[in-house]
Amino acid sequence: MSVKFGTSGLRGLSVDLQGRPSYVYPAAFVNLLLRNGHAKSADRVLVGYDFRDSSPAIAANAMIALRQSGLVPVDCGHLPTPALAYYGFQAGLASLMVTGSHIPADRNGIKFYLPDGEIGKSDERQIAEIAAELNDMPVPALGEITSYENRAGEAVALFMERNKIVLPESALSGKRFGVYQHSTVARDMLSEILRYYGAEVVELGRSSVFTPVDTEAVSAETIAALREWSYQFGLDAVVSADGDGDRPLIADETGSPISGDICGYLTALFLGADAIVTPITSNSGIKTAGGVEVVRTKVGSPFVIAGMQEALASHRQGVVGFEANGGTLTASEFRAAKGTLRPLPTRDSFLPVLAVLGSAAAAGLKLSGLKDRLGLPFTAADRLEKFATERSVSLMARLQANRENLSEFLHPLGLPIEVDMLDGLRVTLDNGRTVHFRPSGNAPEMRCYVEAANAAETREVLEMGLRLLREADLA
């Protein structure tokens, strides 16, 4: 089957996933649940999905597989991934989310959750192995979602109650925020929670056509729209999320996006965390300070979650994880303004939105000022789409083979002095710049992350890094 697990769930072309894989992989998931004692016959399993055209059909096939395998599918409808996962964690139920997150509309995926958290890398391997064994199994007629128990309203309400204890009442009163709605399943809930805290909300860019929004590499077109909206409506910020609502997009009063790792870091500070777990692609300026331990991992929520579990095992009390895309996870309880935030060890866009906006309001700062006072290095990231996986593998192998190849390739940017190959290739140069090349785990894309002394130099280094990748001679 032409689908595979990436950095976050199963991914593949929508036309491929809509067929046999959308039945076989959920059936393999059930096999794993029963084999490892995470579920028993006739237990319920929650199913949610995003607004992609292919998602309802894939969800329908998954529900048929669940029912045929002896479990009871529960239709949770269109809702954010963190809302589905949180409902499952609180109810002690496994769940799966049909979503391709931020990737193009011609692709889709499935995320799998155990009753107590995301599946790990070992679980992925087991599901893939079981799916291979089941690949020749007879598949019943697949069809539309019909006559299943529906708990969409209950799941959404529970998640909203969680978010209503994060800030004091009227914490955002007097503020005017835009919500870039596009096609994210988080769009209505984001507007609702901001209004709950007293903000005036301007809803922007709602679309009935799926729009892939990558919060880690915001497109030039999206940035232009954010800036135009900020100027036109006099906004204090614009917020949004990716397709399934687990990665935030937060732009300051000028419409300039605040990078996801800074949003995650501000959230950790807001919560008073004593341990931070974040991938190597996050801002290098986020270091141990004031008793906060910082652990770096490979890219992907399974690696962040494993790091958070290790931090808990070492007796850290307040553990927060976040990725460079801004998706923020909590492994422990935290005291909030109006109650206790229970752990949510999967990516969430709502907590960082509220933490960042609430922190700025409480400090009497614009969002740009809140970010600037951290004093972190300037960073930027982007990607080359339609960069064949085979090309990525070949280029990485060549650059990692020896220092001579790497030095020749990076000559226009500087001389390599430090190399980290934890995930992709991260290189510190003699002029203080950092460039990091990493093939995407979800799509045929090559990502480039850079750090430099100022915004202008950072943009220059990013453009040069992308050009080097684009023009790479692999002969």
Instruction: Give the separation between CA 230 and CA 219, rounded to whole angstroms.
Output: 17
How is residue 334 written in tokens? Answer: 């935290």
Amino acid letter at 109? G
How is residue 322 written in tokens? Answer: 């976040």
Expressed in percent and rounded to 5, the helix, strand and coil fractions of the chain are 35, 25, 40
- Contacting residues for 31 by C-beta, under 8 A, at least 6 apart: 69, 130, 134
Instruction: Give the separation between CA 157 and CA 149, rounded to whole angstroms.
Output: 17
SS3 per residue for 296-354: EECCCHHHHHHHHHHHHHCCCCCEEEECCCCCEEECCCEEECCEEECCEEEEECHHHHH
How is residue 276 written in tokens? Answer: 């931070």
Closest CA to 265 of 254, 250, 253, 255: 250
Active centre residues (catalytic):
101
Distances (CA, A) of 252 to 215, 221, 230, 353, 369: 14, 17, 8, 12, 9
Burial (CB count within 10 angstroms: exposed 0-12, middle 13-18, buried 19+), residue 114: buried
- Name 203's bridge partners: 179
Instruction: Give the separation between CA 59 and CA 145, rounded to whole angstroms.
Output: 8
Closest CA to 47 of 88, 18, 5: 88
Closest CA to 448 of 431, 472, 430: 472
Closest CA to 151 of 83, 56, 246, 241: 83
Closest CA to 241 of 423, 424, 99: 99
Residue carrying structure tokens 């790091």: 307
Instruction: Give the separation between CA 254 and CA 237, rounded to whole angstroms.
Output: 8
